[in-house]
Amino acid sequence: MRESRVIALAGVFQACALVREMAMEGRCDTQAAQASIASIFRIDADSPEAVFGGLSRLRPGLETLIAQIESSDRDPQLTQLVVATLRLERKLSRRPAMLEALRRAIESAQRQVDHFGIDNPSIHSRLAAIYVDTLSTLRPRIVVHGNPVQLTQESKVEQIRALLLAAIRAAVLWRQVGGNQWRLLFRRREYAMLARGLLARATLDAG
């Protein structure tokens, strides 16, 4: 169960790190983004690993989690983004009607994924619309800081919102496997140690 929590948390860190990259640079790791966005559609996956398509697809998230816990050169805005995501998911968990609306919208969007593929801009647009219609109505909203040049481009904003939806999906998983912020606060070093073990496994899985 502890490893499951680390996997879920790595999913949150991965999606949030991709949001930061998009907001600052207008681009991000394509494979990592595909893994994060694909996780939105794996609502009833058999295991936390399966949500992300295997541990090897979570390597960036595990590396980011370790760096944010252990490094003295951590990104404070990334930490703020992760905390804001976890808090927003807690609000969502108390809104069963919104959770059901999200599930229905995601299941409906699955048909579009089947037709166009996960990385098609139309998928980002659809997921962004789902985010706006649901999660962005909760307060306080997640605030993304970045380069104004990138944040004024609709296609970039849509990708950011799609990735925020992926971050929330990982946060839902984190809660489902028993994660909470107090546990994270007091077991940070344990989480980093477990993440290192998972990262070694992910590297082996990747061949």
Whole-number Å distance between alpha carbons of 15 and 116: 22
Do 48 and 8 meet the contact criterion of CB atoms below 8 Å apart?
yes
pLDDT tens-digit series, residues 14-69: 999 999 999 999 999 999 999 999 999 998 888 999 999 999 999 999 999 999 98
CATH number of the structural domain spanning residue 18:
1.10.3890.10
Residue 52: domain span: 2-205
pLDDT tens-digit series, residues 146-188: 999 999 999 999 999 999 999 999 999 999 999 887 777 777 8
Q: Count of domains in the chain? A: 1
Query: Which residues are within 8 A (CB) of 132 and not within 5 positions of it... i.e. 6 or more apart?
Result: 161
pLDDT tens-digit series, residues 78-135: 999 999 999 999 999 999 999 999 999 999 999 989 888 888 889 999 999 999 999 9
